[in-house]
Structure 1
Amino acid sequence: MSKLFTPITFNNITIKNRIAMSPMCMYSCFNEDGKITPFHMTHYVSRAVGQVGLVMTEATAVLPEGRISPRDLGIWEDEHIDGLKELNEQLHSYGAKTGIQLAHAGRKAELDGDIFAPSAIGFDEKSKTPNEMDIADIERTIDAFKKGASRAKQAGFDIIEIHAAHGYLINEFLSPLANHRSDLYGGSKENRYRFLNEIIQAVKEVWEGPLFVRISTNEYQPEGNRMTDILYFSEQMKMAGVDLIDCSSGGVVHAKINAYPGYQVNRCDQIKHEANIPTGAVGLITTGIQAEEILQNDRADMVVIGRSLLRNPYWAKAAADELHAELTAPVQYERGWK
């Protein structure tokens, strides 16, 4: 039996297969207001029609200054709830479970006005220098993640993912490449993890459902986090009640990355078994056979598909055909799928 098309359950939420749509920025909001548009409805719902088990939104900013671009989705105010609720109703109608990635861009925000980071170090020489966050800024941001989680609950999401990867704010706190603080939020790996831990605890005060965290498992720089640091963070997240670690890489600083099919899976595998926590594998996973190998060899619990789903909203159908697996068609498409 194909493992790719078997259900998986996290904290009483059952996803019908092991395929998740990776959060991918669409830069498509009107008027810089962070609200859902007709494009988002078409984009996400078409993947649910295509039978993706878990449809995850793009990075959704918990504060206006936490957007990567002025046209990112937001969840920093109650006015965002209705559009996200309508999206969830559509996604659920096709049997998909839904996730929202709560995010803050930190020093990688390309916006007018002030931007914020653990230390006043720009991403590169062309980037704006961020304001170093004081304790009040940190507390305000943690509270924004908590309020974002509460709004996500009101909007009807099944799963929350905290974005702690790709060099954005939480990743900046985790990494010695971006975090040069000398207070309780900098220095040792225990201190660098503190910001993420406090966000997790705050979110769990208002959120009872499954909680995922996306991290960069490799920073591709010898001065950055080592695998021992990543495993420490992963073990702490497991103890904090995180249900799955979404294992990506890179983004903290510019780096040359040798990207090849499945290039991030080895670290995903290591985290799964050494930290004893479910993981999602991501990174140039393009075929059903490749995805099935990852799952059957117990290297991950889910596959998180990005660019392949941009190319083909019906990637799940193509994978099922490859694996000679049964995939229930939406009733409207039964004639074409049989």
Structure 2
Amino acid sequence: MSVALFEPYTLRSLTIPNRVWMAPMDQYSAEPSGPDAGVPNDWHFAHYAARATGGTGLILVEATAVSPEGRISPADLGIWNDTQARALSRIARFLKEHGTVPGIQLGHGGRKASTKRPWEGRGPVGPGEHGWQPVGPSPVPFAEDHPVPTELTAEQIAEIPGQFAEAARRARGAGFEVVEVHGAHGYLISSFLSPYANRRTDAYGGSFENRTRLALDVVDAIRGAWPEELPVFFKISATDWLEDAGWTADDTVRFARLLREHGVDLLDVSSGGNGGPADIPVGPGYQVPFAARVKAETGLPVAAVGLITESGQAEKIVANGEADAVLLGRELLRDASWARRAARELGAVTHAPVPYAWAI
């Protein structure tokens, strides 16, 4: 019996061994300053290696900042220098050697940058805690306890695509085979997309075309720096969950068509995160319909995320054509070998290291 969740999947020249993929999840575990700022350490290596040996088909390394001020917290990973890229190459190499496709998410925290690690409480950190002044499309803070971001000038915005392109070059040099643009959850690119966070009146604000300009410029810059034969993903918040005030599911479908024209190969479909009085109906698979709609209306491949926890649930999503793959987050934190367990439950086979072969 064929099990859709464990069928290989090909994008451009790259074949991913199964449809169980790991979503980018910040570990907030790098040094905040000094020569090792943003550099992955033994924690990061062990974290990703465990999910690779657990049979995950593709691992997207957590949001990795394209500039120092692009980190979400001072303890985030970065890829703005060669020291960081060399350390990341160890992770990419191990993943590939053990049958997992190595991917990386590139991001910029924007108005949600310079924040505390979650276990230290929410809210911003100041200069005395290795913090900095966040930036955004407009002086609209993410929340009441967050600072008003500095509004980027048009000249500063024009520099951002180059930062993403240089990060993509380093990522490929480090051995990654998938690069994902973080355009979700209210971080910099997402905040430009959303009329809730973007109140500009210049070429980067106002109309749909203007609000999507930076995102498309970033995609174009990355596509120009990234090998033609390898895929580019884009992560999006399908809706801000803000009635008549933010980005909508209709906007996402319209934007997905543009992303496909600009060389994006797959849309990673999440939702929310831009702030405001959002009422989000969280439940098992609550974001899957957004992915399914994009796939049905645009033909762009999609990955579904959001409270996907059971093997049968994941299999149904892929088998029914609602998504081409599932991206697991917290469930893979709970169980690094979720993919191999799911394969057993569904009567399929997934890859495993030779020393683990007797457990398959």
TM > 0.5 fold call: yes
Provide the residue aligned with 2:236 in structure 1. 215
Determine the C-alpha separation between the residues in 2 that align with 1:55 and 1:155: 15
Give TM-score, length-normalised by structure 2: 0.92
Provide the residue aligned with 2:145 in structure 1. 126
Determine the C-alpha separation between the residues in 2 that align with 1:41 and 1:329: 18
Shift of 1:143: 1.1
Provide the residue aligned with 2:280 in structure 1. 257
Determine the C-alpha separation between the residues in 1 that align with 2:7 and 2:56: 12
Q: What does 1:1-338 align with in structure 2 at a 5 Å threshold? A: 1-32=2-33, 33-110=37-114, 111=125, 112-208=131-227, 209-222=230-243, 223-254=245-276, 255-337=278-360
Over 3 Å counting, the alpha-carbon distance change for 1:70 and 1:31 in structure 2 is closer
Aligned residues: 337
Q: Structure 1 residues 247-256 or 149-158, which shifts more?
A: 247-256
Determine the C-alpha separation between the residues in 2 that align with 1:280 and 1:81: 27
Over 3 Å counting, the alpha-carbon distance change for 1:327 and 1:204 in structure 2 is closer
Unmatched segments (≥5 aa) in structure 1: none
After superposition, the CA RMSD in angstroms is: 1.0
Shift of 1:125: 1.4
Determine the C-alpha separation between the residues in 1 that align with 2:352 and 2:241: 42
Q: Structure 1 residues 95-104 or 135-144, which shifts more?
A: 135-144
- Would you identify which runs of 4 or more consecutive aligned residues in structure 1 move more than 3 Å? none
Give TM-score, length-normalised by structure 1: 0.98
Q: Cα deviations across residues 50-86 of structure 1 (Å, max 9, x unaligned)?
A: 0100011000000111111000000111221110111
SS of equivalent to 1:98: strand
Shift of 1:335: 2.1
Q: Cα deviations across residues 131-156 of structure 1 (Å, max 9, x unaligned)?
A: 10101211221111111011111111
Q: What percentage of residue pairs aligned between the two structures are identical?
A: 44
Provide the residue aligned with 2:122 in structure 1. none
SS of equivalent to 1:4: helix
Unmatched segments (≥5 aa) in structure 2: 115-124, 126-130
AA matched with 2:268: D
AA matched with 1:250: G
Q: Structure 1 residues 266-275 or 225-234, which shifts more?
A: 225-234
Q: Cα deviations across residues 91-140 of structure 1 (Å, max 9, x unaligned)?
A: 11111001110000000012522211000111111101111010121122
AA matched with 2:192: F
Shift of 1:227: 2.1
Determine the C-alpha separation between the residues in 2 that align with 1:118 and 1:170: 9
AA matched with 1:141: I
Q: Cα deviations across residues 281-326 of structure 1 (Å, max 9, x unaligned)?
A: 0000001100110011100001000011000000001111221112
Determine the C-alpha separation between the residues in 1 that align with 2:235 and 2:53: 25
